[in-house]
Structure 1
Amino acid sequence: MRQLELSKAFTLMESGPVILVTTHDGGQDNIMTISWTMVMDFTPVFAITTGEWNYSYAALRKHRECVIAIPTVDLLDRVVGIGTCSGVDTDKFAKFKLTRVPARHVKPPLIKECLANIECQVIDIVEKHNIVVLQAVAAYVDTTRKEKRVVHAVGDGTFIVDGRRLDRRKMMASKLPAGV
């Protein structure tokens, strides 16, 4: 085995799906790209890592709600573009030609072009580690979309795209919650 620089160790694990997070600050909507995500368990509780460096963080702290939108590979250039500009001076919905869809339970909008959207409430912020813990209150999937492959950031400017799905549901049946 070849030794990897410790400063690059995160690239071995940072392959969770890239998501878009919409927020509303009381006046305007914004979108940020996040690749640091975690499913907390089989309940609809998730965590994202973000902080003061992201314009949307203040809206998350103050209004305590957001939408997680899950884009597919056909949106990759827009996803990267969203992550490389600031909502301070950019209407990202307009710039990246994304469609706002009113959410049912939170003020931030869903993104029509995404495969899935999850309305969330902020239930905790672990400031020491910049972790925002989210409780899902509603979820939607666009079953009519042809493109369903999601993108995973490696952390070095490269991405991995989902491939073939391998089914081991029967083998894992004793460990899966009912209805999954």
Structure 2
Amino acid sequence: MRRSLSLEPGPDVDDRIIKTAVAPRPIAWVSTVSDDGVENLAPFSSYNYVSSSPPVLVFNCSTKPDGELKDTPRNALDTGEFVVNVVTEDLIEAMDLTATTLPADESEFDHAGIEHAPSDVVTPPRVAAAAVSMECTLYDSLSVYDRTMVLGEVVRYHVAEDALTDGKLDSRNLPVVGRLGGPYYTTGEPIAFERR
């Protein structure tokens, strides 16, 4: 048996434990537009899907030190729309540039020099180079301690043709980036494994 420490969650326990143990975490690269028309793009590694039919995604974000919402969840809640772009290995450096805190009237698309493409159903643009983008309309939101959960119903998919095999999205063609604890990220080769 492994020896282990028993720790109670609280201010004296590093929150890196949960962020490292729950890994790899997919990254939602979320694009929104503010009420003033400013395009926003930011990555969130607390993200997943909660329903597949109909498809519903969730991402969550901590609040600012003053308790106010950050730009992305505020925009999503104000407008009822956002786009989740999938981060692949070729986009990791561009994604990192958009994690920079900018004034609300400045666009991360412009700051990082990221080309965008129009969405079909929602107003926020998508990342043109993303292998998969999912246009979402707001399904619901929930406050959990210092975080805001934003749920979005997917209303349109955009999938790069080179990510498909026989018309289906293929993990072997989608080198997604996952977030680990601390300063670490991961990519990996898919492992073929038949469930019993």
Q: 1:71 touches 1:113 (CA, 8 Å); kept in 2?
A: no
TM-score, normalising length: structure 1: 0.83
Matches within 5 A, 1:86-105: 86=102, 88=104, 90-105=106-121
Choose the corresponding residue for 1:153, options 170, 174, 179.
179
2:38 equivalent in structure 1? 28
Give SS of 2:140's match. strand
Unaligned stretches of 5+ residues in structure 1: 173-180
**Residue 28 of structure 1, CA deviation:** 1.2
- Structure 2 counterpart of 1:49: 60
Which of residues 135, 142, 166 is equivalent to 1:126? 142
Which piece of structure 1 moves more, 115-124 or 36-45?
A: 36-45
| Structure with greater proportional strand content | 2
Which position in structure 2 is the counterpart of 1:140? 158
Aligned AA (1:141): V
Are 2:83 and 2:135, in contact at CA under 8 Å, matched by a contact in 1?
Answer: yes
Q: Number of aligned pairs?
A: 170
Shift of 1:9: 2.3
How far apart are 1:141 and its partner, in Å?
0.9
Q: How far is the alpha carbon of 1:155 from its aligned partner?
A: 3.2
The 1:166/1:9 distance shift into structure 2, 3 A limit, reads same
What's 2:48 paired with?
38
Task: Determine what percentage of the aligned residue pairs are the same residue.
Answer: 19
Q: Which has the larger radius of gyration?
A: 2
Which stretch has the larger CA shift, 97-106 or 82-91? Answer: 82-91
Compare 155-164 and 117-126 and name the one that shifted more.
155-164
Quote the residue 2:26 is aligned against: 17
CA–CA separation in structure 1 for the residues paired with 2:107 and 2:52: 35
Query: 1:70 offset after TM fit, Å?
Result: 0.5
Deviation at 1:2? 5.5
Q: How far did residue 16 of structure 1 move?
A: 2.3
**Structure 2 unaligned blocks of 5 or more:** 8-12, 65-69, 164-171
| Contact map agreement 1:56 1:87 (CA 8 A) in 2 | no
Q: Compared with structure 1, are the counterparts of its residues 95 and 147 closer, same or farther at alpha carbon in structure 2 (3 Å cutoff)?
A: farther
Aligned CA distance change for structure 1 residues 118 and 87 (closer, same or farther; 3 Å): farther
- Partner amino acid, structure 1, of 2:60: T
Q: How far did 1:167 drift? A: 5.0
